[in-house]
Chains A and B, each alone.
Chain A
Amino acid sequence: MKPLSLSPAQLRGAEIAFWLALASSFFLLPDKLTLMSQIMIFGLFAVSLDMALGYAGILTVGHAAFFGAGAYAAGLLAKYGWSEPFSGLLFALAVCALLGYVLSYLVVRGADLTRLMITIGVCVLLFELANRLSGITGGTDGLQGVVIAPVLGLFDFDLYGKTAFGYAFGVVLAMFLLVRLVLRSPFGLALRGIHDSRKRMTAIGSPVEARLRMAYAMSAAVAGVAGALLAQTTQFVGIESISFNRSAEVLIILVLGGTGRLYGGLIGAIVYMLVHDWFADMNPQYWMFWLGIFLIAAVMLGRGGIMGALSRVVRTGKAR
């Protein structure tokens, strides 16, 4: 079969269609708005992981550390009086960017194995911290009493999740465009170069370590925003938002969608969350079983997830 080819203009059209379709679920699926908001939030989280893993090539299995940190940052800020949502997001972004930058000194050095360990270790450490400081975080009961003021002072968060959907959609779209801008900038090209050949980038004088640290911090910041969004739209922070399982889950979402591709995380989140919702009545053990089978099959058979399979069928206009 001859691959279909898309010109840059058609590609742009496809992108716009994707976002319009996402937005139209507001009218088409009015009783699934909460699920749709969560899909977008997890999509953003997966996109953030993609920055670190797919683009910068930093093997991390503890990204929930930042998702959780962002959620607690925004949740605590709102609980203790500052309930304006956008500044809450900015606060979470700043906290996670800082945290990510500090940790990047630990993570970027060393081999894949050490990175794996450090990222798991930090995630578990933060989980324990959240668990122990139950006076502040609520421990295993989660952080309750988070109250978020109306968005822009106009739209109150309602029971049906209408405001939550609109708010999440706007923020996720804006963050996604920002990430896309970064990844298409010379900085993003340098990351791709480092991913392809670290030695070559060092040889042409690219500050490899500094770039990787920056990418890791940015990825942490985006993950923090995703966590903060979840905290604000659900007005609750559960301790599982910082757990190792959450890290594994987002890894699965990203791999399902396709790593190193802009839309991989979003597509992965849509498919994963819909299937999860579908199987919601299923025993969690069965769900785990099928998830495991899927992972094994994905490694053995597929390359590049859903987006990888798509790109084999549809050739895009831009040169690779």
Chain B
Amino acid sequence: MGIVIFDGVAYGMLLFLIGVGLSITMGLMNFVNLAHGSFAMVGGYAASVLMNQWGIGFGLSLVAAFVAAALVGAVLEFVFYRRLYRAHPLDQVLLSIGVVFVSIAAFTYFFGPTMQPFTLPKALEGQVSLLGLEVGRYRLFLIGCGVAVLVALLLGLGKTRYGAMVRAAVDNQRVAGGTGIHVQRLFFLTFSLGCGLAGLGGALSLGMLGLEPSFPLKYLVYFLMVVCVGGAGTVTGPFIAALLVGIVDVAGKYYLPETGAFLIYVFMIVMLLVRPNGIVAKKGLA
């Protein structure tokens, strides 16, 4: 029981790390971005290549994953996304499905269809006992990362000048522009931040979900679920939702191996019925 909850929480943290970026792009900027998993994949492959081929350390690779995904996100925002902020959701869906297809094909071409090899760094191998439970160090590390990102985002969006500007721009773009906020540049930065977080999550998922070119489609529903169940445009919403989703999924697969995979979809549909706008409905931010 304890270990199922712990593993569920660790899994949920990973979903949170990837999903929170999507909550930012999708909820704050109202862009239905189904290509979020592609950005996560960019980060994951960047980290994997750095570690396996260039022999760079795990910590540094995580930073590089963030930077790589943020850069790719920035380029795509500049070329495609910014033209569609006010477009119909269908156009946004089509554009982002297009990006997913292209990224899957391109990564298969360059890296082959197989799963990326990954060896845990020495410090994260093995188990450690915590409150009488033997828990994996890597999972503990994931939980630490998730909490750190949560705190950083809450502080960054809630307490800093940048956060205040983002909140203003989200509430009312025209008025925010009138007060001298450069909304387009702000959205550019925010979109890149969201993609960077996805990249970080993608790199961390190397050790847990595994990374292959079909990653963006395979886990798409999970990321979307975390954001929609939690409440798009918030940070705490996806956090709570990710933990719930993680625990439900792990518990379902553990206790009901035959039917466990459904549990998560049933959970999602029930949650969306009870709270169509998510657990934490958007009121500005946080």
Contacts and interface: CB of A to CB of B under 8 A. Distances in A.
Interface of A: 53, 59, 61, 106, 109-114, 116-118, 120-122, 124-125, 128-129, 132, 244-245, 248, 251-252, 255, 259, 285-286, 288-289, 291-296, 298-300
B98 A113 contact: no
Given A118-B269, A124-B221, A59 B93 contact: yes
B109 A106 contact: no
A291 B272 contact: no
A124 B97 CA distance: 17
Contacts of A295: 94-95, 97-98, 101
Contacts of A132: 258-259, 261-262
Contacts of A244: 217
Instruction: Identify whether the interface residues of B are mostly helix, strand, loop, or mixed.
Output: helix
A132 B217 CA distance: 20
Given A121-B269, A132-B259, A299 B89 contact: no
B32 A125 contact: no
Nearest to B266: A125
B104 interface: yes
Interface stretch (B145-153, B170-178, B196-204, B224-232): B224-232
Contacts of A116: 32, 89, 93, 224
Instruction: Identify whether the interface residues of A are mostly helix, strand, loop, or mixed.
Output: helix
Contacts of A286: 105
A254 to B, nearest CB: 10
Contact of A299 (B32, B91, B259, B269): B91
B131 interface: no
Contacts of B3: none
Interface string B164-203: 0000000000000000000000000000000000000000
Interface string B267-286: 01100110011000000000
Interface string B97-109: 1111111111011
Interface of B: 26, 32, 80, 83-84, 87, 89-91, 93-95, 97-106, 108-109, 113, 217, 220-221, 224-225, 228, 232, 258-259, 261-262, 265-266, 268-269, 272-273, 276-277
Nearest to B258: A132
A116 B276 CA distance: 12
A59 B101 contact: no
What 6 A-B pairs come out closest when comparing CB atoms? A292-B101, A295-B98, A289-B105, A292-B102, A296-B98, A125-B265
B265 A300 contact: no
Contacts of B108: 285
Given A114-B276, A116-B89, A299-B91, A121 B80 contact: no
Nearest to B213: A285
Given A255-B94, A299-B95, A289 B269 contact: no
